[in-house]
């Protein structure tokens, strides 16, 4: 899998954009990733294929894909469809924001988690680990499952909330979960350098400056 293909795909879909962005952390970033901008069947099918290949390449063998509401919902469904095209059939599920108090009730839609299920969380990016912190009690409140890790689109590779660890490294430190990314900020920088992305070269300088300020390896 060529990481520059994924970067170009995100850019063409309007998911990866360049400009002046203020993040929740207060940092001024020259780029932004918003997976909420995927909007066509063709895009979501291709995205599912990228996630599927990353899961397969990682050697992970989940029983269930879990997508945290809301952005994780289409991602986990797309990834499950993508895996099926490679002959890997997995269940998927996601949470409601509020438990349903009528009909079948419950918090989880799709596969009903049970003891010993091997669960893989599907996310977009990890900025501060907040979504993971909220997700784990929901999953573990359903059954004694085995959480294999988290798959994300982009590893921003920048300092998290505390110290010099990245948000991804903090997830490993705090929750014992490995995070597998399809690509990273370094791939974005390389794509600009190599002319894969038709953006003003000024953003290459700004990306390098931002990485010098906040980046971690």
List, by residue number, the catalytic residues.
Answer: 100, 102
DSSP letter for 96, please.
E
According to the 3-state scheme, what is the secondary structure of 164-189? Answer: CCEHHHHHHHHHCCCEEEEEEHHHHH
Q: Which long-range contacts (CB under 8 A, 24 or more apart) does 42-49 make?
A: 43/13, 44/74, 44/78, 45/78, 45/81, 45/82, 46/9, 47/9, 47/75, 47/78, 47/82, 48/77, 48/78, 48/79, 48/80, 48/81, 48/82, 49/82, 49/85
């Amino acid at each position: 899998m060529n990481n520059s293909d994924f970067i170009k795909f995100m850019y063409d879909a309007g998911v990866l954009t360049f400009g002046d962005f203020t993040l929740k952390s207060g940092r001024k970033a020259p780029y932004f990733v918003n997976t909420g901008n995927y909007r066509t069947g063709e895009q979501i099918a291709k995205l599912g294929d990228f996630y599927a290949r990353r899961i397969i390449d990682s050697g992970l063998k989940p029983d269930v894909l879990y997508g945290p509401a809301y952005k994780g919902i289409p991602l986990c469904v797309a990834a499950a469809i993508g895996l099926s095209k490679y002959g890997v059939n997995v269940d998927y599920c996601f949470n409601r924001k509020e438990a349903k108090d009528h009909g079948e009730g419950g918090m989880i839609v799709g596969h009903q988690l049970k003891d010993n299920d091997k669960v893989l969380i599907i996310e977009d990016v990890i900025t501060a680990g907040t979504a993971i912190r909220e997700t784990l009690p929901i999953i573990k409140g359903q059954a004694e499952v085995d959480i294999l890790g988290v798959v994300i689109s982009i590893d921003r590779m920048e300092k998290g909330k505390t110290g010099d660890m990245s948000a991804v490294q903090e997830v490993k430190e705090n929750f014992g979960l490995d995070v597998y990314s399809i690509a990273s900020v370094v791939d974005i920088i390389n794509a600009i350098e190599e002319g894969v992305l038709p953006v003003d070269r000024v953003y290459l300088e700004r990306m390098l400056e931002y990485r010098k300020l906040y980046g971690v390896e």
